[in-house]
């Protein structure tokens, strides 16, 4: 399918193209999408590092071992500009060098392990309002990805305040010891996580 | 008892009829597959039952209206040519896949990351969980990355993937496809999808493709053979443009919500 030949150049009247449909990530992305230090968004050893972690669960409460999570957030100073270098590559071998230890890219990608567990090491986001990390969920069986938010604090927030208490609680990560935050994602059923759409 | 292809065909047909009737009666066109699509069995326990909660796009500080950026550090020169990543040449039909990455206004998305992965020419993935008895190719991994250029264009050299069996039902086969992962300027525009090849006889039997119940939307997942992209004595050309959905900060800046 080619739409380019039918669409005008970008300087002409805007067109309204129809979007490319989503499809499931399938079971075999594991050798393609995850990359070393995808979970290490904070510069290693940074004293402000927090750990966001939890399980991804299906409608029967079973862990999902083949989910892929992506995370996007503001930097500690509130910047949403991001930075390149999440997948920093080695031009000699074609492999991965890991992050450069100084830049904050704001982007993380983590595959769940055999227990359906994930962990992300990052810095507290400095976005306006309550701090939150945007989470995008992909999995075999999920035909279109899902968005949610992991809030690292509770309080006044337009989204949280629009939800009944029980549902609101699914978006607020539980603070634990040593700067850890527990955030489980339930795709279906009891305690189903609130998922978002953007208009 | 194991499900047969005709069981799946009947379910797919019912859902197709229901969608077509709804649209004829004035329901909105669905550009994306429903998450609850029972003919694809793995979806049954993995879709939310509660409706999605809308976050309106009026606030430019909404984190999801921006998104990750990538640069020259994130790709290497050979990432876009999947046929030169090993010592020898992979087996199969060499192809060039190219197109543009656009937003819904037709504007090119520049300098963004496109990732792809695929089975080899025999229909086998370089993944431990793919154990179906087709040969692995020591000269083909099937992973590519590229950054779009100033026109939003991308280009890969690869091998045409084979069809392969899966266990959704008895005698289930996926049509040949390439998985794509694409970023826009906003996290809301994130897209993971699959590109198909024209006129594949397996289309009608595949509950994953058929989960896109809108026929025109389904057709947007199929690349076009483009003879001008074919390279003499080297590869066959397929063109596939990708249009990203979802609001971005630029929409708001221009007063479109």
The answer to whether A70 touches A109, Cβ cutoff 8 Å, is yes
Band (pLDDT 50/70/90 cuts) for residue B251 is low
Residue B131 is predicted with a pLDDT of 85
The answer to whether A168 touches A160, Cβ cutoff 8 Å, is yes
How many Å lie between the alpha carbon of B40 and the closest alpha carbon of chain A? 7
CB pairs A-B closer than 8 Å: 288
How many Å lie between the alpha carbon of B233 and the closest alpha carbon of chain A? 24
User: B47, A187: Cβ pair inside 8 Å?
Assistant: yes
First vs last C-alpha separation in chain B: 50
What residues in B contact A74, CB-CB < 8 Å? 63
In three-state secondary structure terms, A78 is coil
B177 is catalytic: yes
Q: Which residue is closest to A133 within chain B, CA to CA? A: B63
Q: In a structure prediction context, what are the per-residue pLDDT tens digits for chain A, which is 199 residues long?
A: 666 444 444 455 568 999 999 999 999 999 999 999 999 999 999 999 999 999 999 999 999 999 999 999 999 999 999 999 999 999 999 999 999 999 999 999 999 999 999 999 999 999 999 999 999 999 999 999 999 999 999 999 999 999 999 999 999 999 999 999 999 999 999 999 999 999 8
Q: What is the pLDDT of residues B57-93, one digit of tens each?
A: 678 889 999 999 999 999 999 999 999 999 999 999 9
The answer to whether B179 touches B148, Cβ cutoff 8 Å, is no
Q: Which of B49, B73, B130 sits opposite A88 (nearest CB)?
A: B73
Distance from C-alpha of B240 to C-alpha of B257, rounded to nearest angstrom: 27
B225 is catalytic: no
What residues in B contact A105, CB-CB < 8 Å? 68-69
Q: What is the pLDDT of residues B158-199, one digit of tens each?
A: 999 999 999 999 999 999 999 999 999 999 999 999 999 999
The answer to whether A102 touches A42, Cβ cutoff 8 Å, is no
Architecture of domain B5-45+63-253: Sandwich (2.60)
Q: Where are the domains of chain A?
A: 22-199
B186 contacts: CB under 8 Å, gap ≥ 6: B64, B65, B66, B67, B246, B247, B248, B249
Q: Which of B45, B73, B106 sits opposite A17 (nearest CB)?
A: B106
In whole angstroms, how large is the CA radius of gyration of chain A?
Answer: 18
The answer to whether A132 touches A152, Cβ cutoff 8 Å, is yes
**Residue B164 CA to its chain's centroid (Å):** 16
Distance from C-alpha of A129 to C-alpha of A155, rounded to nearest angstrom: 9
**φ and ψ of A186, to 5 deg:** -105, 115
What residues in A contact B125, CB-CB < 8 Å? 28, 31
Q: Which of B43, B55, B67 sits opposite A141 (nearest CB)?
A: B43
Distance from C-alpha of B100 to C-alpha of A22, rounded to nearest angstrom: 17
Distance from C-alpha of B141 to C-alpha of B127, rounded to nearest angstrom: 9
What residues in A contact B191, CB-CB < 8 Å? 20, 22
Distance from C-alpha of A83 to C-alpha of B225, rounded to nearest angstrom: 36
Average pLDDT over residues B107-124: 97
For A15, A21, A29, A127, B10, the CA distances from B32, given in Å and listed in that order, are: 20, 5, 20, 30, 21
Average pLDDT over residues B52-61: 85
B125 is catalytic: yes
User: A80, B53: Cβ pair inside 8 Å?
Assistant: no
B37 is catalytic: no
What residues in B contact A94, CB-CB < 8 Å? 76, 78-79, 85
Q: What is the pLDDT of residues B194-247, one digit of tens each?
A: 999 999 999 999 999 999 999 999 999 999 999 999 999 999 999 999 999 988
What residues in B contact A2, CB-CB < 8 Å? 99, 224, 226, 239-241
Q: Are β-strands B153-159 and B94-103 bridged in parallel, bridged antiparallel, or unpaired?
A: antiparallel
The answer to whether B102 touches A8, Cβ cutoff 8 Å, is no
**Residue A53 CA to its chain's centroid (Å):** 12
The answer to whether B144 touches B131, Cβ cutoff 8 Å, is no
Burial class (CB in 10 A: 0-12, 13-18, 19+), A154: middle
Q: Which of B34, B71, B217 sits opposite A84 (nearest CB)?
A: B71
B174 is catalytic: yes
Q: Where are the domains of chain B?
A: 5-45+63-253
Supply the ipTM of this predicted assembly.
Answer: 0.95
Q: Nearest CA to B53 among A132, A156, A195?
A: A195
Q: Which residue is closest to A86 within chain B, CA to CA? A: B74
User: A84, B192: Cβ pair inside 8 Å?
Assistant: no
Would you identify the CATH topology of the domain A22-199? Answer: Protocatechuate 3,4-Dioxygenase, subunit A (2.60.130)
Residue B60 is predicted with a pLDDT of 82
User: B217, A105: Cβ pair inside 8 Å?
Assistant: no
Q: Which of A7, A28, A167 to mutate: most B Cβ within 10 Å?
A: A28
Residue B56 is predicted with a pLDDT of 79
Instruction: Name the β-bridge partners of A150.
Output: A133
User: B68, A142: Cβ pair inside 8 Å?
Assistant: no
Task: Spot the catalytic one: B37, B154, B164, B205.
Answer: B164
């Amino acid at each position: 399918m080619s739409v380019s030949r039918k669409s005008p150049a970008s300087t002409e009247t805007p067109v309204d193209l129809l979007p490319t449909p989503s499809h499931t990530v399938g079971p075999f992305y594991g050798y393609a999408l995850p990359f070393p230090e995808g979970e290490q968004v904070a510069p290693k050893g940074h004293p402000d590092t927090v750990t966001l972690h939890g399980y991804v669960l299906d409608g029967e409460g079973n862990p999902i071992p083949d989910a892929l999570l992506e995370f996007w957030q503001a930097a500690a100073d509130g910047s949403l500009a991001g930075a390149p270098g999440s997948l920093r590559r080695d031009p000699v071998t074609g492999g991965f060098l890991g992050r450069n230890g100084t830049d904050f890219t704001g982007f993380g990608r983590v595959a769940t392990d055999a227990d359906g567990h994930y962990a992300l090491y990052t810095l507290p986001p400095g976005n306006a309002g309550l701090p939150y990390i945007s989470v995008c969920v992909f999995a075999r069986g999920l035909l279109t990805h899902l968005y949610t938010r992991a809030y690292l604090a509770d309080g006044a927030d337009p989204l949280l305040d629009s939800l009944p208490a029980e549902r609101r609680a699914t978006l607020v990560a539980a603070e634990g010891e040593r700067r850890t935050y527990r955030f489980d994602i339930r795709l279906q059923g009891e305690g189903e996580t609130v998922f978002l759409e953007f208009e | 008892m194991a499900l047969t292809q005709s069981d799946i065909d009947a379910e797919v047909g019912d859902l197709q009829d229901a969608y077509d009737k709804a649209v004829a009666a004035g329901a909105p066109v669905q550009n994306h597959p429903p998450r609850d699509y029972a003919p694809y069995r793995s979806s049954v326990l993995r879709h939310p039952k509660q409706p999605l909660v809308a976050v309106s796009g009026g606030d430019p500080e909404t984190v999801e209206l921006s998104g990750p950026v990538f640069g020259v550090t994130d790709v290497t020169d050979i990432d876009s040519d999947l046929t030169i990543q090993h010592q020898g040449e992979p087996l199969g039909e060499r192809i060039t896949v190219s197109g543009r990455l656009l937003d819904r206004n037709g504007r090119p998305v520049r300098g963004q990351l496109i990732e792809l992965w695929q089975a080899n020419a025999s229909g086998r993935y370089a993944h431990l969980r793919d154990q179906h008895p087709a040969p692995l190719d020591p000269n083909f991994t099937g992973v590519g990355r590229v950054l779009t250029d100033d026109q939003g264009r991308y280009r890969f050299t690869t091998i045409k993937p084979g069809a392969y069996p899966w266990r959704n039902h008895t005698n289930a086969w996926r049509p040949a496809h390439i998985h794509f992962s694409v970023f826009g300027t906003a996290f809301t525009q994130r897209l993971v999808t699959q590109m198909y090849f024209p006129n594949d006889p397996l289309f009608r039997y595949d509950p994953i493709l058929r989960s896109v119940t809108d026929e025109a939307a389904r057709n947007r997942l199929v690349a076009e053979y483009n003879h001008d992209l074919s390279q003499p004595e080297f590869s066959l050309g397929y063109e596939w443009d990708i249009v990203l959905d979802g609001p971005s900060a630029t929409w708001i800046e221009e007063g479109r919500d």
